[in-house]
């Protein structure tokens, strides 16, 4: 008659399982330690590189973008480091100064555009405001996006909205814009800055209630103007898109 598994065999099997588990944990810890050491070496090399090319990082926008991408690849954000080595580079100061100027332009134009401005118009206004004294520091779209994203610390008042095809808008008033609102802006841009419920139904196959609700919200936020004098139905215009439409037409 075959005997069942005894208590001793069970305990032995349990000990073996614990041994394998401990060995697995040891291997994971060793791998993590090695990875940490490699990242620390990479970080030091990155510091040496940035110190050597400090001038080029600040003056060359393409070089600056590549440097930011290198930092992001190892989880380093020089913009958030106000102390220590990274502050020596002055990169954070560059973006924080740019962020302050973005706020100034947004506040100066809010009565016109309701707190929504195209990235191209924002860039042109910043270049004009900076004048010839800082012409050597070219402002790129990548710089504007990075600086604008830093303004999110103030809450939903500042937000970068992708418009597709490399275009962006900066929102500088409180209130979240949904995907529907972003799509409406894209359609309005294609239609010289104006849109209607009929156009949205035709182009996007939306229900009237969905289109009307989204447009009413944008009117309430001050982002759009309504023209009720049109023949068919009201048209909704976005002043923040007027400059972009004129530039595209020219």
CA distances from 24 to 10, 17, 27, 30, 37 (A): 21, 11, 5, 10, 20
pLDDT-derived band at 197 (thresholds 50, 70, 90) equals very high
> Under 8 Å CB-to-CB from 170, ≥6 apart: which residues?
102, 106, 116, 117, 118, 119, 122, 144, 148, 158, 159, 160, 161
Q: What percent of the chain has pLDDT over 90?
A: 13
CA pair distance 239, 179, nearest whole angstrom: 20
Can you list the pairs that 77-80 forms with residues at least 24 positions away whose Cβ atoms lie under 8 Å? Answer: 78/50, 79/146, 79/150
pLDDT at position 210 is 93
CA distances from 16 to 5, 21, 100 (A): 16, 9, 62
pLDDT at position 84 is 47
pLDDT at position 136 is 44
Tell me the pTM.
0.59
* Residue 72 · residue 140 · CB < 8 Å: no
CA distances from 148 to 96, 98, 153, 238 (A): 9, 9, 10, 21
Predicted confidence (pLDDT) at residue 43 exceeds the cutoff of 70? no
pLDDT digits (tens, 9 = 90+) for 104-114: 898 888 888 88
Domain range summary for the chain, segments of one domain joined by + = 40-175, 177-250
pLDDT at position 246 is 45
* Residue 117 · residue 106 · CB < 8 Å: yes
pLDDT-derived band at 250 (thresholds 50, 70, 90) equals very low
CATH of domain 40-175: 1.10.10.10
Q: Which residue has the higher pLDDT, 94 or 236?
A: 236
pLDDT at position 196 is 93
Domains 40-175 and 177-250 share a fold: yes
Q: Is residue 226 within a helix (H) or strand (E), and if so which, with residue range?
A: strand 225-227
pLDDT digits (tens, 9 = 90+) for 101-157: 888 898 888 888 888 899 999 998 888 887 755 544 578 888 888 888 777 766 656
Predicted confidence (pLDDT) at residue 51 exceeds the cutoff of 90? no
Predicted confidence (pLDDT) at residue 2 exceeds the cutoff of 70? no
pLDDT at position 209 is 93
Predicted confidence (pLDDT) at residue 172 exceeds the cutoff of 50? yes
CA pair distance 50, 44, nearest whole angstrom: 10
The three-state secondary structure class of 169 is: strand
pLDDT at position 65 is 77
* Residue 236 · residue 217 · CB < 8 Å: no
Highest mean pLDDT among 39-43, 77-81, 190-194: 190-194
Give the pairing type, strands 235-237 and 225-227.
Answer: antiparallel
| CATH topology assigned to domain 177-250 | Arc Repressor Mutant, subunit A (1.10.10)
Task: Render 126-167 in DSSP notation, one character per residue.
Answer: HHHHH-GGGTTSPPPHHHHHHHHHHGGGG-TTSEEEEEETTE
> Under 8 Å CB-to-CB from 125, ≥6 apart: which residues?
105, 109
Averaged pLDDT of the chain: 76
Nearest CA among 146, 141, 134, 102 for reference residue 120: 141
Q: What is the mean pLDDT of residues 72-87?
A: 58
């Amino acid at each position: 008659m075959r005997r069942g598994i005894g208590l001793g065999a069970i305990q032995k099997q349990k000990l073996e399982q614990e041994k394998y588990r401990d060995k697995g944990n040891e291997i994971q810890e060793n791998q993590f330690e090695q990875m940490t050491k490699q990242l620390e070496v990479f970080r030091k090399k990155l510091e040496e590189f940035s110190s050597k090319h400090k001038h080029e990082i600040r003056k060359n926008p393409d070089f600056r973008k590549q440097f930011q991408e290198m930092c992001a690849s190892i989880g380093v954000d020089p913009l958030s480091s106000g102390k220590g080595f990274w502050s020596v580079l002055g990169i954070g100061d560059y973006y924080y100064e740019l962020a302050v100027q973005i706020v100034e332009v947004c506040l100066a134009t809010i009565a016109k555009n309701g707190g929504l401005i195209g990235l191209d118009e924002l860039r042109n206004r910043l270049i004009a405001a900076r004048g010839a004294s800082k012409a050597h520091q070219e402002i790129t779209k990548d710089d504007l996006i990075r600086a604008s994203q830093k303004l999110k610390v103030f809450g939903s008042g500042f937000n970068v909205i992708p418009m597709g095809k490399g275009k962006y808008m900066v929102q500088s008033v409180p209130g979240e814009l949904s995907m529907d609102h972003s799509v409406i802006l894209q359609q309005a841009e294609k239609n010289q800055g104006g849109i209607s419920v009929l156009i949205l139904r035709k182009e996007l196959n939306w229900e009237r209630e969905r289109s009307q609700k989204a447009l009413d919200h944008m009117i309430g936020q001050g982002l759009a103007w309504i023209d009720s004098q049109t023949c068919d139905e009201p048209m909704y215009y976005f002043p923040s898109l007027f400059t972009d439409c004129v530039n595209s037409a020219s």
